[in-house]
Amino acid sequence: AQKITQTQPGMFVQEKEAVTLDCTYDTSDPSYGLFWYKQPSSGEMIFLIYQGSYDQQNATEGRYSLNFQKARKSANLVISASQLGDSAMYFCAMREVNSGNTPLVFGKGTRLSVIA
């Protein structure tokens, strides 16, 4: 079964607007970590933000925030004030902790295009 689901293959957003990229996950492990990565056209994978399953507050890093809704098993990435440089692929990923040192599992990604 797919553990990470990103339902939006592609999205468009106007420059300076906010955008939400959806991510839902599936786990029975009570302890897990959620990650978002950005991949520009250059191909490098850039870590954006992390949320732990026991974190009480939603994670924020500059213009990035993670809208964590544990009961709904959703970890949406919110980008505020979009910039042209935000155009990229975005991947959501999860690590389960109680199963041991498990690798990150990635979703299929969302391609974001920022329009001037």
Identify which of 74, 35, 37, 36 has the alpha carbon closest to the alpha carbon of residue 52: 35
Give the number of residues in contact with another protein, rule: CB under 8 A: 28
Residue 26 or 44: the one with the smaller Cβ distance to another protein is: 44
When binding is defined by CB under 8 A, the residue of 19, 25, 35, 68 that contacts another protein is 35
When binding is defined by CB under 8 A, the residue of 77, 91, 112, 114 that contacts another protein is 91
When binding is defined by CB under 8 A, the residue of 8, 11, 22, 52 that contacts another protein is 52
The rounded distance, in Å, linking the Cα atoms of 84 and 95 is: 30
Q: Where does this chain touch another protein (CB under 8 A) — which range of 18-26, 64-72, 76-84, 88-96?
A: 88-96
Burial of 115: CB neighbours in 10 Å, binned 0-12, 13-18, 19+:
exposed
Site for another protein in 55-84 (CB under 8 A): none
Q: Which two tokens stand for residue 68?
A: 């964590």
Q: Does residue 12 touch another protein according to CB under 8 A?
A: no
Q: Tell me the closest approach of the beta carbon of residue 116 to another protein, in angstroms.
A: 25
The rounded distance, in Å, linking the Cα atoms of 61 and 45 is: 17
Identify which of 101, 103, 97, 87 has the alpha carbon closest to the alpha carbon of residue 10: 87
Q: Which residue has the tokens 């950005």?
A: 38
Binding site for another protein (CB under 8 A): 6, 9, 31-33, 35, 42-45, 47, 50, 52-53, 91, 93, 95, 97, 100-109
